Amino acid sequence: MSELSPISVAFLVFPNVTQLDLTGPAQVLSRLGNTTVDLVWKTKDPVPTDAGFALLPTRTFAETQSADILCVPGGFGTMEVIQDEEVLNWVRKVGADASWVTSVCTGSIVLGAAGLLKGYRATTHWASHDQLAFFGAEPVKQRVVFDRNRVTGGGVTSGIDFGLALAAKIRGEDHARFIQLSIEYDPQPPFESGSPEKADPATLERYWGLVNRSAPGRADKVKAIAKRLGF
């Protein structure tokens, strides 16, 4: 491992982040070898997640001016993030020079708001898929999408797939296979309900009800924010 080139990974962490968007790929990318992984926010105070527990940032924006891999997770907190110029400026700055500009779930909406997906193919959580076009991106219905140095993952659990796919690009497929084995990533879901195409109508309706209660008018609000940002 000492012969491997060093890699720095910076994950944006923010209030109401979906923690698995972050912790899934972080577990994978931390095993690239000779790699540092940081959770970055405005301060080092604990940041609440949507799972009811907090994550502790390891570095602040001021302390992190660059990274080899920038990764932005998603969650309902992204609505506040895409209206926060301090956060968007940091994402723009780090993303401008990063070797890889990446996201999981609705983190791609943040990348879009920062102007980093204009003209790029990208994906996101299925319920927010069409919102990518508001920021000049081309929505693609795939679990992981590579377009040059932009890599976007779909919803939540796709972060593990994204991490392994990126690991293969950086360290080679053999190393990525080794990581997959080491974390025993051998998914065998107990139900066929992991996408809107597979879920039964009642389950799908229940999910949309949750979205409408938790974030009413979300798509229209994102579209309005994109317009204010000049897209």
128-175 per-position pLDDT tens digit:
999 999 999 999 999 999 999 999 999 999 999 999 999 999 999 999
Residue 202 identity: A
Other Cβ atoms within 10 Å of 127 Cβ, number:
19
Q: In this predicted structure, what is the pLDDT of residue 1?
A: 41
| C-alpha–C-alpha distance, residues 8 and 12, integer Å | 13
Cα Rg, the chain, nearest whole Å? 17
Position of tokens 């809107």?
196
Which DSSP category does 94 fall into? H
Q: In this predicted structure, what is the pLDDT of residue 65?
A: 96
Q: In this predicted structure, what is the pLDDT of residue 192?
A: 95
Indicate if the pLDDT at residue 72 is higher than 80: yes
Residue 103 identity: S
Query: Counting beta carbons within 10 angstroms of the beta carbon of residue 87, is it exposed (0 to 12), middle (13 to 18) or buried (19 or more)?
Result: buried
Q: Which of 26-30, 102-106, 213-217 has the lowest mean pLDDT?
A: 213-217
211-225 per-position pLDDT tens digit:
999 889 999 999 999
Beta bridge partners of 100: 69
pTM: 0.96
For residues 88 and 211, the model is more confident at 88
Percent of the chain with pLDDT over 90: 97
Contact yes or no for 123/108 (Cβ under 8 A): yes
Band the pLDDT of 203: cuts 50, 70, 90: very high
Each residue of 8-42: b (16+ CB within 10 Å) or e? Answer: bbbbbbbebbbbbbbbbbbbbbebbbebebbbbbb
Strands 144-147 and 150-153: antiparallel
Query: Counting beta carbons within 10 angstroms of the beta carbon of residue 205, is it exposed (0 to 12), middle (13 to 18) or buried (19 or more)?
Result: exposed
Contact yes or no for 14/39 (Cβ under 8 A): no
Mean pLDDT of 100-129: 98
Band the pLDDT of 3: cuts 50, 70, 90: confident
With CA atoms as reference, report the closest residue to 43 among 55, 53, 52: 55
Clarify whether 105 is annotated catalytic.
Answer: yes
Could you tell me the domains of the chain? 7-190 (3.40.50.880)
Indicate if the pLDDT at residue 27 is higher than 50: yes
> Which tokens in the block code for residue 173?
């497929």
Catalytic residue among 22, 71, 105, 127: 105
Q: In this predicted structure, what is the pLDDT of residue 2?
A: 47
Q: In this predicted structure, what is the pLDDT of residue 215?
A: 87
